[in-house]
Amino acid sequence: MLDEDLRSDLQKRGIFVASFEDLYNWGRKSSLWPLQFGLACCAIEMIATAAARFDMARFGAEVFRPSPRQADLMIIAGTVTKKMAPLVVRLYNQMAEPKYVIAMGACAISGGPFKEGYNVLKGIDRYIPVDVAIPGCPPRPEALLEGLIKLQKKIEGQRLFGPNRARHADTRDAADYPVPSYGAHDLEPPMNPAVFKPEPSRREAE
Amino acid sequence: MSFLPSLESPQTIDVSLGPQHPSTHGVFRMNVTLDGETVTRLQPVFGYLHRNHEKIAEGNSWLAAMPYTDRLDYICPLTNNWAYALAVEKLAGIEVAERAEFIRVITAELTRLQNHVAFLGFVLGDMGAWGTALMYAFREREKILDLFESLTGARMMCNYMRFGGCRCDLPPGWLDTTRKLVDGFPKFLDEMEALLTGNEILLARLQGVAPMTADRAINGGMSGPVLRAAGVDYDIRKVDNYGIYNRFKFRVPRGTVGDCYDRFMIRVLEARESVGILKQAIAVIPEGPVVNPKAKQRGFRPPAGEAYGRIEGPKGELGFYLIADGSDKPYRFRIRPPSLINLTLLEELCVGTKIADVMVILGSIDIVLGEVDR
Amino acid sequence: MNDVLEAIRTALPQAIVELVNNPGPSAQHSLLVGRKDARAVAEFLRDSLGFDFCSNVSGVDWPPRKVKETVLNTEMVDGVEKEIKTTVERDVPGYLEAVYHLYSIRNKTGPVTLRVRTGDRDADVSVHSLTPVWKSADFQEREAFDLFGIRFDGHPDLRRILMWEEFADHPMRKDYMAPDDFEYEPTPHDKILAKVKARTEAA
DSSP-assigned states of every residue in B130-145: TTHHHHHHHHHHHHHH
Residues of B in contact with A44 (CB under 8 A): 74-75, 156
Which of C60, C101, C134 lies nearest to residue B308, judging by beta carbons?
A: C101
Residues of C in contact with B47 (CB under 8 A): 160-164
> Which CATH number fits the domain B53-373, given the four candidates 2.40.50.100, 1.10.645.10, 3.10.110.10, 3.40.50.300?
1.10.645.10
Contact B194, B242 (CB under 8 A): no
**Dist CA C101 CA C108 (whole Å):** 14
Chains with ≥3 CB–CB distances under 8 Å to A: B, C
Which of B220, B303, B334 lies nearest to residue C136, judging by beta carbons?
A: B220
> Considering chain C, what percentage of its residues have pLDDT values greater than 90?
21
Domain with C49, as residue range(s), is 2-62+95-179
Contact B278, B109 (CB under 8 A): yes
Chains with ≥3 CB–CB distances under 8 Å to C: A, B
Domain of C122, CATH number, reads 3.30.460.80
**DSSP summary character for residue A120:** B
Residue of chain C nearest A189, judged by CA positions: C181
Whether the pLDDT of residue C37 is over 50: the answer is: yes
With a cut of 70, which residues of chain B have pLDDT below it?
1-10, 24
User: Rounded to an integer, what is the distance from CA B314 to the centroid of its chain?
Assistant: 4
**Dist CA B369 CA B50 (whole Å):** 9
Helices B98-126/B355-365 angle, 10° precision: 170
- Identity at C164, one-letter amino acid code: W
Contact across the interface for A41 and B74, Cβ inside 8 Å: yes
Q: Give the CA distances from residue A165 to residues A21, A22, A175, in Å, rounded to whole numbers and listed in that order.
A: 11, 14, 17
pLDDT of A33-42, one tens digit each? Answer: 998 888 888 8
Which of A68, A91, A120 lies nearest to residue B52, judging by beta carbons?
A: A120
The domain segmentation of chain A, as residue ranges, is 33-161
Helices B174-196/B132-152 angle, 10° precision: 170
Average pLDDT, chain A: 86
Nearest Cα to Cα of residue C22 among B304, B325, B85: B304
The pLDDT, as a whole number, for residue B24 is 67
Whether the pLDDT of residue A203 is over 70: the answer is: no
> With an 8 Å Cβ cutoff, is A79 touching chain B?
yes
> Beta partners for A199?
none
Residue of chain C nearest B227, judged by CA positions: C105
The pLDDT, as a whole number, for residue B197 is 78
Contact across the interface for C161 and B324, Cβ inside 8 Å: no
Residue of chain A nearest B52, judged by CA positions: A117
**DSSP summary character for residue A190:** S
- The shortest C-alpha distance from C163 to chain A (Å) reads 7
Residues of B in contact with C22 (CB under 8 A): 305-306
**Dist CA B206 CA B189 (whole Å):** 19
> With an 8 Å Cβ cutoff, is A67 touching chain B?
no
Which of C166, C171, C183 lies nearest to residue A118, judging by beta carbons?
A: C171
Coil/strand/helix, residue C76: strand
The pLDDT of C60-84, averaged and rounded, is 78
The pLDDT, as a whole number, for residue B319 is 92
DSSP element (H, E) containing B347: helix B346-350
Q: Is B288 left (phi over 0), alpha (psi -120 to 50) or beta?
A: left
Q: Hey, which bits of chain B come out as E strands?
A: 2-5, 12-17, 29-35, 38-45, 161-162, 165-166, 305-312, 317-324, 330-336
Residues in B lying within 8 Å of A, measured between beta carbons: 19-22, 26-27, 47-52, 55-56, 59, 67-68, 71, 74-75, 134-135, 138-139, 141-142, 145, 155-157, 369-370, 373
The pLDDT, as a whole number, for residue A37 is 84
* Other CB atoms within 10 Å distance of the CB of residue C160: 17
Whether the pLDDT of residue C192 is over 80: the answer is: no
Contact across the interface for B319 and C55, Cβ inside 8 Å: yes
The pLDDT, as a whole number, for residue B7 is 60
The pLDDT, as a whole number, for residue B1 is 46
**Dist CA B230 CA B210 (whole Å):** 11
Residue of chain C nearest A181, judged by CA positions: C166
Please enumerate in sequence order all residues whose Cβ is within 8 A of that of A94, keeping only pairs 6 or more positions apart, or say none: A68, A69
Average pLDDT, chain C: 85
Sign for the CA dihedral angle at C186, C188, C189, C194 comes to positive
Whether the pLDDT of residue A143 is over 90: the answer is: yes
The domain segmentation of chain B, as residue ranges, is 2-45, 53-373
> Beta partners for C53?
C103
CATH for the stretch A33-161: 3.40.50.12280
Confidence band of A80 (pLDDT split at 50, 70, 90): very high
Contact across the interface for C167 and A185, Cβ inside 8 Å: yes
What is the CB-side half-sphere exposure of residue B147 using CA atoms within 13 A?
Answer: 25
Domain total of chain C? 1
Which of B47, B219, B344 lies nearest to residue C162, judging by beta carbons?
A: B47
Contact across the interface for B27 and A84, Cβ inside 8 Å: yes
Sign for the CA dihedral angle at C62, B53, B371, B276 comes to positive
- The shortest C-alpha distance from B277 to chain A (Å) reads 27
Residue of chain B nearest A120, judged by CA positions: B51
Contact B113, B336 (CB under 8 A): no
pTM for the predicted model, two decimal places = 0.90
Residues of A in contact with B2 (CB under 8 A): none
Which of B52, B138, B155 lies nearest to residue A47, judging by beta carbons?
A: B138
* Phi and psi, residue B331, nearest 5°: -75, -40
Does some domain include residue C120? yes
pLDDT of A85-136, one tens digit each? Answer: 999 999 999 888 888 999 999 999 988 888 888 899 988 989 999 999 999 9
**Dist CA A6 CA B258 (whole Å):** 73
**Dist CA A179 CA A204 (whole Å):** 32
**Dist CA A121 CA A162 (whole Å):** 36
By residue count, chain A amounts to 206
Q: Give the CA distances from residue B105 to residues A112, B148, B278, B339, C182, in Å, rounded to whole numbers and listed in that order.
A: 31, 14, 8, 22, 41
Residues of C in contact with A180 (CB under 8 A): none
Coil/strand/helix, residue A7: helix
Q: Give the CA distances from residue C22 to residues B27, B286, B303, C55, in Å, rounded to whole numbers and listed in that order.
A: 39, 35, 11, 20
Residues of A in contact with C181 (CB under 8 A): 122, 186, 190-191
* Other CB atoms within 10 Å distance of the CB of residue A166: 16
Which of A83, A116, A185 lies nearest to residue C179, judging by beta carbons?
A: A185
The pLDDT, as a whole number, for residue B196 is 81
Contact across the interface for B67 and A81, Cβ inside 8 Å: no
**Dist CA C149 CA C169 (whole Å):** 8
**DSSP summary character for residue A81:** B
pLDDT of A38-54, one tens digit each? Answer: 888 888 899 899 888 88
Coil/strand/helix, residue B96: coil
Which of A119, A122, A183 lies nearest to residue C182, judging by beta carbons?
A: A122
> With an 8 Å Cβ cutoff, is B53 touching chain C?
no
pLDDT of B258-292, one tens digit each? Answer: 899 999 999 999 999 999 999 999 999 999 888 88
Contact across the interface for C171 and A190, Cβ inside 8 Å: no
**DSSP summary character for residue B8:** S
Please enumerate in sequence order all residues whose Cβ is within 8 A of that of B324, keeping only pairs 6 or more positions apart, or say none: B91, B92, B302, B303, B304, B305, B306, B330, B331, C24
Nearest Cα to Cα of residue A191 among A124, A116, A131: A124
- The shortest C-alpha distance from C165 to chain B (Å) reads 11
**Dist CA B179 CA B50 (whole Å):** 38
The pLDDT, as a whole number, for residue B178 is 93
The pLDDT, as a whole number, for residue A205 is 54
Q: Give the CA distances from residue A184 to residues A189, B55, B124, in Å, rounded to whole numbers and listed in that order.
A: 12, 19, 41
pLDDT of C80-109, one tens digit each? Answer: 777 777 778 888 888 999 999 999 988 888
The pLDDT, as a whole number, for residue B69 is 92
Contact across the interface for B142 and A48, Cβ inside 8 Å: yes
pLDDT of C126-180, one tens digit each? Answer: 999 999 999 999 999 999 999 999 999 999 989 899 999 888 889 998 888 888 7
Q: CB burial class (10 A; 0-12, 13-18, 19+) of residue B329?
A: middle
End-to-end CA distance of chain C: 57
